[in-house]
Chains A and B, each alone.
Chain A
Amino acid sequence: MTRRLLAAALGAVAAVIFQVAVIYSQRPFPLLIVTVISVAVGASFLLAGLAAWHRWPASRLGLLFTVTGYAWVVPSLAHLPYALPFTVGNLIASVYAASLAHLALAWPTGRLRSRFECGVVIAVYAWNTLQSLVSMLFWNPATSGCGPGCPANLLLASDSPAVERVFDQISVPVGLSLSAIVLTLIFRHWWRARGWSRRAMVALVWISVAVIALSVAQTVASNLNLADSSLLLYGIAPVILLTGPALFVVSTLLARTARGALGTAIVDLQPGAPPEMLRDALARALGDSTLQLAFRVPGSAGYLDTAGQSVDPGQLGPGRALTALPAVSDALLVHDQALQQEPQLVRLTASAASMALEHARLQAEVRAQLEQVRASRARIVEAGDAERRRLERDLHDGAQQRLVTLSLALGMAREQAAGADPALQSLLDSAGQEAREALVELRELARGIHPAVLTETGLAGALQALAERSTVATTIAEVPGRRYPAAVEATAYFVVSEALANVAKHALTDAAVVAIRELPGRLLVAVTDDGAGGARPDGGSGLRGLADRVASVGGVLTIDSPPGAGTRLAAEIPCP
């Protein structure tokens, strides 16, 4: 606590003690309820002043609460049985009403909004002073309203109840007009306020209506000389004034609620949610519907908010304030100026926004990196496929052609050597046989490198050829006739080829069914057998490699293989 705050706190305590002492200097003692209400009103304003000073050091609201508190407490002097304090106390008895009006017009920032409103506040103070002064000049307490036991009014110029009454009759319409102007301005503030300010104005509107109703009732009652109602109106009804300090409590609660809501909003916000959703969540939590989240337009000095409206940080417009986001240099928060009174809340909002944006940026970065990795993996697999196709073609165009030519030449040599040397014939037969076997082996090798039938005929022909060569009786239940990108065809082919090889090796059955179905945007490849089951995705390098291969084109491989109930190997491969 600073020294200034400590002094203010001591002052408040002293004021309350003074008020209690003064009130109990009267004989007979006043009613306890009246004393309690009177002390409570003063103490609560002084307390609200201290708290507001502490919470909003930059605002004048603390000062205004404090001034109102003293303006309520000090006139208790009038209870002392001496002429000077009696006169002073009565003279300043209604200053608190002017500072209440000042406080209400300056709410919620502590600043008056225009020169006109400054004029209104000055007029209220001036009228208040003038009215008290004139009343005192013509009020003789001994004859009017106080009784012979009262101290003298030192300001009494003329003991003329008639003049006093005339002045009172003039002052009623002036006072009511000023009240009406203040109330109208407060309503206008509420009506024009948006976002956080509007929220902060709601309580004030209700309170002003109640306080001004009290003041009007007091004025009317005093003019009609309704002495019967004085206990109620002057002793008990001021309890309504306690709603003034309640404003401070309400605004504290609003800020606290907003802080809590911010936390929840950020937790509830889906990771990577778009900036407009982040803005909406923050605006809802803060209770500032005018909140803007603006981003720098790449390559320019201008900003655009999430609704696409241009934001000029140099010219924000009246009642708007700007907050930079920590750690996010290209984004800004633009909000209701009244929110600046809650710097902690603004800081929290900015941090929350930064955190969410940073999270979204990191997530986008990770996604982009993943996409890069996926694309590079796909490129590696495609390059591998292309290389295998080239090898197969080289074998076909080179060694295979030469072996065919050799085989044909040996055949011709064998025909020409018919009837010649039997040893030569036998040699040519065996050479021809060797050449043919070499050709068969070379073809097997080439097919293992890359199935030419896949390049030539696509999936339908290639699966037919695969089924015919397989040692398992394979039924092709379904296969689309059209061609797909080479990577998709190769992946689907290798899935079926590996699955059939697994059936032959492990499934203890001699039948399998292959089905390839085209669904929107993807190809579903399934190989089913009714064998032993129990295959596991991590069971061997073959299935792991196959899963990698399927993943390289963005697909998913699944294995359903309960022991004893067959195996279903399925791959979902994205395809255009």
Chain B
Amino acid sequence: MLEAAGFTVAEAATGAQATETARSVRPRLVLLDIQLPDIDGFEVARRLATEAGGPVIVLTSTREAADYGGLIAASPAAGFLPKDELSGAALREFLPADSP
């Protein structure tokens, strides 16, 4: 769906892989599931944010934002999108206006 919307996508299945992939690919945006098989999405977001030129991070989950209380606001992520509201247009909202 994201490729159809014009994104170039690199996938990672776990939190550790996501950190690795982000370091090598240097994406502009990371769509990060909160529930991962190893560490949780909040922890991955914290690790990515400490790296220079960190990407824009958007958290996502099958659950609602309210199910995570203040954790989303406290994380360095730019925002949260419920999975059922995912779309290229919704993601683009998080990118700076001047980007292609």
Contacts and interface: CB of A to CB of B under 8 A. Distances in A.
A348 to B, nearest CB: 68
A439 B84 contact: yes
A574 to B, nearest CB: 25
Contacts of B86: 408
Interface string B69-100: 11100000000000110110000000000000
B67 interface: yes
Contacts of B63: 396, 400, 443, 452
Given A401-B62, A408-B1, A412-B4, A436 B84 contact: yes
A453 B84 contact: no
A462 interface: yes
Contacts of B64: 443
Interface in A461-509: 461-465, 468-469
Contact of B68 (A396, A435, A457, A463): A457
Contacts of A462: 69
A456 B71 CA distance: 9
A194 B18 CA distance: 86
Contact of A456 (B1, B4, B68, B87): B68
A460 B69 contact: yes
Interface string A395-437: 0100011011001100110010000000000000000000110
Nearest to B5: A415
A407 B84 contact: yes
Contacts of A522: none
A435 B71 contact: no
A447 interface: yes
Contact of A457 (B4, B62, B71, B84): B71
Contact of A464 (B1, B70, B84): B70
A468 B87 CA distance: 27
Contacts of B1: 408, 411-412
A330 B2 CA distance: 81
Nearest to B4: A412
Interface string B47-76: 000000000000000111011111100000
B67 A404 contact: no
Contacts of A447: 67
Contacts of A465: 66-69
B57 to A, nearest CB: 18
Nearest to A442: B62
For the side of the interface on B, what is the size category? Answer: 10 to 19
Contacts of A436: 84
B55 to A, nearest CB: 22
B64 to A, nearest CB: 6
Residue from A403, A412, A453 having most chain B Cβ neighbours under 10 A: A453
A439 B84 CA distance: 9
B62 A461 contact: no
A560 B69 CA distance: 30
A465 B63 CA distance: 13
A526 to B, nearest CB: 20
Nearest to A410: B84
B69 A469 contact: no
A564 to B, nearest CB: 35
Interface in A440-459: 443, 447, 451-453, 456-457
B70 A460 contact: yes
B66 A468 contact: yes
A447 B63 CA distance: 10
A403 B70 contact: no
Interface in A357-401: 396, 400-401
Contact of A461 (B69, B83, B87): B69
Contact of A404 (B4, B62, B71, B87): B62
B69 A408 contact: no
Contacts of A401: 62
A461 B84 contact: no
Given A460-B70, A461-B70, A408 B84 contact: yes
Interface string A236-262: 000000000000000000000000000
Contacts of B69: 453, 456-457, 460-465
Contact of A435 (B4, B62, B66, B84): B84
Contacts of A408: 1, 83-84, 86
Nearest to A397: B62
A311 to B, nearest CB: 64
A453 B67 CA distance: 4
Nearest to B40: A456
B84 to A, nearest CB: 4
Nearest to A407: B84
Residue from B62, B66, B83 having most chain A Cβ neighbours under 10 A: B62
B71 A403 contact: no
A240 to B, nearest CB: 96
Nearest to A395: B62
Given A439-B84, A443-B64, A452-B67, 17 more contacts: A404-B84, A408-B86, A412-B1, A415-B87, A451-B67, A453-B69, A456-B69, A457-B68, A457-B69, A457-B71, A461-B68, A461-B70, A461-B71, A462-B69, A465-B67, A465-B68, A468-B66
Interface of B: 1, 4, 62-64, 66-71, 83-84, 86-87
Interface of A: 396, 400-401, 403-404, 407-408, 411-412, 415, 435-436, 439, 443, 447, 451-453, 456-457, 460-465, 468-469
17 contacts: A400-B62, A401-B62, A403-B84, A404-B83, A404-B84, A408-B83, A412-B4, A415-B87, A456-B67, A456-B71, A457-B68, A457-B71, A461-B71, A464-B69, A464-B70, A468-B66, A469-B66
